[in-house]
Amino acid sequence: MTTNIDAIKNRRQIKYFTDKIPDKVIIKEILSDTVKYAPVKNNMWNFKLEVYGPEWAEEKQKMVLNTICTTPLFPLPEDSVSTVYKAYKEQGIKNGYGLKYDKNIHRFNDQVTAPYLIAIKLSKNTYNLQNESQDVLDVAVMAGCIGATLSYLTQEKNLGGGFCQCFMGSDKLGIEKNFIANDKSDFLFTYSIGYPDKNLYVRDPWPLKPNVNDVVEWMT
């Protein structure tokens, strides 16, 4: 097992996972410790963590279509999203995904198909003993603290994880709605857990980091 500082230093954004399923006991430990130790303002939980295990594989395969990556210069394709996803998978298998990927083919956030998918969603007064109201920004900040804690505890267990916040509505894409992301209005982000597929591309988080002096100002 890695140490706390190793978990922070070695964390990576994992997008592709093997078929090996982590022990459910380990996932429960990660979630239990996250709830116990993550900082949450005034202990106000106006969000919840939904856990989708291996038995939800079919819904995850539907959901991955919602994660198609588009830009103003690279809009939605004319072909069906499922057809484009098939092309993405075929190209990925051929080129090992990652940096060699054909830039003319839309990408998808395959991490949502991991063995365990944690969906962090808005949920007013899930646990809020003070009955205080929070705006969405406050909730999002607190949920972000939960996400960071989840990621470090996942790494500490020698597992891999990946965040995803890129979801497009099923109606806009003309695809079947899935149970996990059927109401995007309450969605904050997801965190996926599994064993990283080391034969595929793993994004190193450090190259694009700013210089510490660019973001840290010592006030005098």
Domain layout of the chain by residue ranges: 4-215
Q: What is the pTM of this model?
A: 0.86
The model's pLDDT over 108-131, given as tens digits with 9 standing for 90+, comes to 899 999 999 999 988 877 777 666
Q: Which amino acid is at 197?
A: D
Q: What's the sign of the alpha-carbon dihedral 144, 145, 148, 149?
A: negative
pLDDT digits (tens, 9 = 90+) for 121-172: 888 777 776 666 777 788 888 889 999 999 999 999 999 999 999 888 888 8
Domain covering 4-215, topology: NADH Oxidase (3.40.109)
